[in-house]
Amino acid sequence: MPKNKKKIGAYWASSCGGCDVALLGLHEKILDLLDFADIAFWPAATDFKYEDLKGYGKNELDLTFFNGGIRTTENEEIAELLREKSELLVAYGTCAHQGGIPGLANMSEEVDLFDTVYKGTPTSTNPENIFPQESTKKDGQTLNLPGLQERVRSLDRVVDVDYTVPGCPPPPDLTEDFLDLLVKGALPEKGSVVAGTKSVCDECSREWNRETIDELVRPQETEIDPDKCLLDQGIICMGPVTRSGCDGSCPEANMPCKGCFGPPPEVEDQGTEMLNSLASVLQLGEEGQALEQEKELLSDLPDPIGTFYTFSLSNSILGGKVSEGGENDRT
Amino acid sequence: MEFEPKLVGFLCKWCSSAGADLAGVSRKSYPPNLVPITVNCSGRIDVNHIVRALKDGADGVLVSGCHPGDCHYTSGNYKTWRRVALLKHVLEDFGMNPDRVRLEWVSATEGEKFARTVEEFTDEIKELGPGPFSNAKE
Ligand code: SF4
Ligand code: SF4
Ligand code: FES
């Protein structure tokens, strides 16, 4: 083994496991990585324990790919531990970057989440109302589980993040590019999101005719013209408010962008920005002639939060459900 | 102490801000709760500005521009009209009372309407109580 071989780690917090699969999806490329570095911690693929991690010195891991948002006390604890043990900490994938789909749970209270998950789903029967407890005593033993935190947070809201590789999950070539930069020692400035710097529209090959639209349709309700901009066809496509870097893979596959790369640089909130875009193009007839009907059309939009904040609710300005009365967390 | 709402008003330069000036020079009295911010056109105000103001502690946001047909830039107010409609729908889903955002057309000659709008809006928000992120002192 070369003496200067690097050590890398990977970790999953609140995520679906897809990002770990994406790392494995590097196929032969992962062998190149293994020439360059040893895996020193990767719970999804290798048998390392938290104790092993605790045994490492400060910054002993050269780089850690961290996927998943911060949802439980365990997620937070390990994020802090990995931050301490890693020279470079990479938010890998949308959940670490933006909270991701699990972040949509920020629209619900803990009791409702538990009720749905452990009681309400068609496949659960729970007549005794047994819910997970942080601490349970049984036969003289105490069993502890990590606690659920109030909100899902992205990794950078909890610890400093050096780089972000976005995507749900990050496409293999983006990860490869990142690894190439790492191996060459050519990584950009710390804090960078290592992807494009424009919007998905910029790399989408569909023809955009700046049309105004007079109705909103869902992709399953219409025959999609494969060459025309989806937004021009009345389909909500998050391309204009999503960072480039995926080669427009969803519109190329005849599906609208859902926004998984997060907002482009300079855009604070994907959802509010998309409302602006939509308000500019949705128009019935001559400008100003049918305002009331346009208003109605916009207000009929189903599930706006799920549509405009599929991946970025945690990092949006409002961050999730708010309640009237001045009691909400302003951070 | 009675709850004194903090309101932010985005007023277009050509109509509503002039209307506010007229209210002043005609010595109309109205509550001091609104902090006016003059912008070129109500079309300059996007959803982010409004949501940011609410997040940073405003109890209500007034967006005011020229009457339909009168926008100095032809159609800025129509765009804003649609943005506000869409935003109200989304705010409601977020759990916020959509009445915290109000859109009102005020022309340069409508000093009286401006004063009345601020008065009404202040009363309405007093009624609603502090906003979700209110930094008004109670
Ligand atoms: S809105 Fe969607 S379909 Fe249209 S150009 Fe942008 S990414 Fe392509
Ligand atoms: S098109 Fe949008 S949703 Fe699809 S991969 Fe690219 S950023 Fe993600
Ligand atoms: S200039 Fe007044 S609304 Fe456009």
A125-145 pLDDT tens trace: 999 999 999 999 989 999 999
Which residues are paired to A9 by β-bridges? Answer: A41, A64
A217 vs A301: CA distance, rounded Å = 10
- Residue A104 has which token pair? 């949509």
Return the SS3 of B26.
coil
Q: What is the mean pLDDT of chain A?
A: 93
User: Ligand 1 center to residue A243 CA distance, Å?
Assistant: 12
Question: What percent of chain A stands above pLDDT 90?
Answer: 80
> Tokens 């293999």 identify what position?
A172
* Structural domain includes residue A81: yes
Torsion of the alpha carbons at A277, A281, A283 and A285, rounded to the nearest 10: 170
Residues contacting residue A182 through CB under 8 Å, at least 6 positions apart: A63
Beta pairing class for A37-41 and A135-138: unpaired
Contact B90 A279 (CB under 8 A): no
Q: How confident is the model at residue A95 (pLDDT cuts 50, 70, 90)?
A: very high
pLDDT in tens, B108-119: 999 999 999 999
B137 pLDDT more than 80: no
What is the total count of domains within chain A?
Answer: 2
Q: Check residue B1 and give its pLDDT.
A: 72
> Tokens 């062998």 identify what position?
A31
Q: Check residue A26 and give its pLDDT.
A: 86
CATH number at residue A96: 3.40.50.700
Q: What is this structure's pTM?
A: 0.94
Question: What percent of chain A stands above pLDDT 70?
Answer: 98
A325 pLDDT more than 80: no
Q: Which of A200, A238, A255 to mutate to test the pocket of ligand 2 (most atoms within 8 A of CB)?
A: A200
Question: What percent of chain B stands above pLDDT 70?
Answer: 99
A185 vs A192: CA distance, rounded Å = 15
A118 pLDDT more than 70: yes
Let me know whether A172 and A231 are in one domain: no
How far is A264 from chain B, CA to nearest CA, in Å? Answer: 15
pLDDT in tens, A59-69: 999 999 999 99
A327 pLDDT more than 70: no
Let me know whether A163 and A213 are in one domain: no
Let me know whether A162 and A47 are in one domain: yes
Q: Check residue A288 and give its pLDDT.
A: 80
CA distances (Å), origin A74, targets A78, A115, A212, A240, A321: 6, 22, 48, 36, 24
> Tokens 């056109």 identify what position?
B41
Cβ neighbour number for residue B99 with a 10 Å cutoff: 15
Let me know: does A17 contact A67? Beta carbons within 8 Å: no
Q: Check residue A245 and give its pLDDT.
A: 97
Q: Which residues of A touch B85 (CB under 8 A)?
A: 279, 294-295, 298-299
User: Ligand 2 center to residue A261 CA distance, Å?
Assistant: 6
B138 pLDDT more than 60: no
Q: Check residue A331 and give its pLDDT.
A: 66
Q: Which of residues 198-257 of A touch B (CB under 8 A)?
A: none
- Residue A46 has which token pair? 């290798």
pLDDT in tens, A223-273: 999 999 999 999 999 999 999 999 999 999 999 999 999 999 999 999 999
A27 pLDDT more than 90: no
Q: Check residue A2 and give its pLDDT.
A: 52
Instruction: Compare CB distances from B83 to A271, A275, A318 and report the shortest one's residue.
Output: A275
A222 vs A22: CA distance, rounded Å = 32
Query: Choosing among A322, A323, A327, which should be mutated to test the B contact, i.e. which has the most B CBs within 10 A?
Result: A322
**Is B120 at the interface with chain A, CB within 8 A?**
no
* Structural domain includes residue A325: no
How far is B25 from chain A, CA to nearest CA, in Å? Answer: 32
A164 vs A65: CA distance, rounded Å = 9
Q: Which residues of A touch B75 (CB under 8 A)?
A: 287-288
Atom of ligand 3 nearest to the CA of B65: 3
CATH class of the domain at B7-128:
alpha beta
A118 vs B79: CA distance, rounded Å = 45
Range of the domain at A159: 6-101+150-184
Mean pLDDT of B34-45: 97
Q: Which DSSP string corresponds to A154-190?
A: -GGGTS--SEEE-SSSPPHHHHHHHHHHHHHT---ST
Return the SS3 of A62.
strand
Q: DSSP letter at A146?
A: P
Mean pLDDT of A86-109: 97
Q: What is the mean pLDDT of chain B?
A: 95
**Is B81 at the interface with chain A, CB within 8 A?**
yes
Let me know whether A206 and A283 are in one domain: yes
Q: What are the two backbone dihedrals, phi and then psi, of residue A247, each rounded to the nearest 5 degrees?
A: 60, 30
Task: Quote the crossing angle between the two packed helices B76-94 and A291-299, to the nearest 10°.
Answer: 30
- Looking at per-residue pLDDT, the higher value among A320 and B2 belongs to A320
- Residue B37 has which token pair? 């911010």
Flag the least confident range among A86-90, A190-194, A292-296, A320-324: A292-296
**Letter for the amino acid at A147?**
G
Q: In what order do the strands lie in the sheet with A86-92?
A: A37-41, A6-12, A61-67, A86-92, A163-165
- Looking at per-residue pLDDT, the higher value among A288 and B11 belongs to B11
In 3-state terms chain B splits into helix, strand, coil percentages (rounded to 5) of: 45, 15, 40
B55 pLDDT more than 80: yes
* Structural domain includes residue A21: yes
Short-list B124, B107, B104, B138, CA closest to B23 = B107
A86 vs A15: CA distance, rounded Å = 20
Short-list A156, A169, A176, A234, CA closest to A27 = A176
**Is A268 at the interface with chain B, CB within 8 A?**
yes
Let me know whether A69 and A218 are in one domain: no
Mean pLDDT of A108-130: 93
Q: Check residue A292 and give its pLDDT.
A: 83
